[in-house]
Amino acid sequence: MEDGPRERTADGAIVFENLTKSFGEIEAVKGVTLSIPKGQICGYLGPNGAGKTTTVKMATGMLEPTAGRAIVEGFDIVKEPLEAKRVIGVVPETGALYATLTPNEYLALVGRLYHLDRDETDEKTHTFLKLFGIADVADRLMTTFSRGMKQKVLISAALLPNPSVLFLDEPLSGLDANTALVLKELLRDLASQGRTIFYCSHILEVVEKVCDRVVILVGGEVIADGKVEELKDMTHQGSLEDVFSELTSSENLAEIVRAFSRSITGDGGA
């Protein structure tokens, strides 16, 4: 349903050129080409296994592309990894952190890795954790933390070095409704300050409200790229959820639901 590639800006904060990743015989990402200008929030959507997280991993230097390249703030992530990584903040989908450290210790480690002044790190750490409502557990090991609490620490770690580009992979995972609201507003605020945000999510309502632009990936390929309203007009649908369903589902969703229901009750499977 793609109406041709959008006009690319040569000086995008994030640029993917024919970005490709193969795992053996499986081609997870197939020649993705995008240019995301400074200050834009780009939603990156797709069904499970579409290649979203693989794209983020390539863009953040965690996976080397099989072909093509990713450029962040003018730095090629493969050729100039340290320079590129210094300007990005990442909230990974895995939620990985060293759980046997405390939030204070973990954020201090992150601060040191980015050469932040120790006082600045302490001050920011205290502020972030307080705003997220977890300041009282700042000296407790994170082994006891819920997913949401760990997510708050991860978001704090991503924001700590004041990055100009943010890669967020399911950032609302585990967050309570109030924190999710705060984060959505925060993202808009950060974008208005000129920060570029690459936002992977399955929560379409949030993407619809927060993102300036939406890219839909299916089977490793970009099948749609545009503003939410443009995509709605193009598909003649009323919401991003409907647009997504129209573009990514080859089967009748109502029939799938009925088949599931029959299977659960034992009246015959799909």
Among 99, 131, 186, 203, binds other proteins (CB under 8 A): 99
Minimum Å distance from CB 93 to other proteins?
Answer: 10
**Binding to other proteins, residues 112-171 (CB under 8 A):** 112-115, 139-141, 143-144, 167
Interaction between residue 100 and other proteins (CB under 8 A): yes
CB 240 within 8 A of CB 232: yes
For the bound state, the minimum distance from the C-beta of residue 209 to other proteins, rounded and expressed in Å, comes to 27
Residues 261 and 255 sit within 8 Å (Cβ to Cβ): no
Closest by CA position to 213, among listed 226, 202, 222, 197:
226
Stretch that binds other proteins, among 3-11, 24-32, 38-46, 243-251 (CB under 8 A): 24-32
CA distances (Å), origin 201, targets 9, 20, 91, 111, 198: 24, 20, 12, 27, 10
Binding string, residues 43-72; x marks residues near other proteins by CB under 8 A: --------------x--xxx----------
**Which of these segments, 75-83, 126-134, 210-218, 250-258, binds other proteins (CB under 8 A)?**
75-83
Q: Are 260 and 246 contacting, i.e. CB atoms less than 8 angstroms apart?
A: no
Interface pick for other proteins out of 7, 10, 26, 269 (rule CB under 8 A): 26
3-state secondary structure of 120: helix
Give the single-character DSSP code of 8: P
Restricted to residues 211-240, the positions that interact with other proteins (CB under 8 A) are none
d(CA 191, CA 101): 31
Structure tokens at 168: 């967020």
Q: Which residues bind other proteins (CB under 8 A)?
A: 23-26, 57, 60-62, 80-83, 85-86, 88, 90, 92, 94, 96-101, 105, 108-110, 112-115, 139-141, 143-144, 167
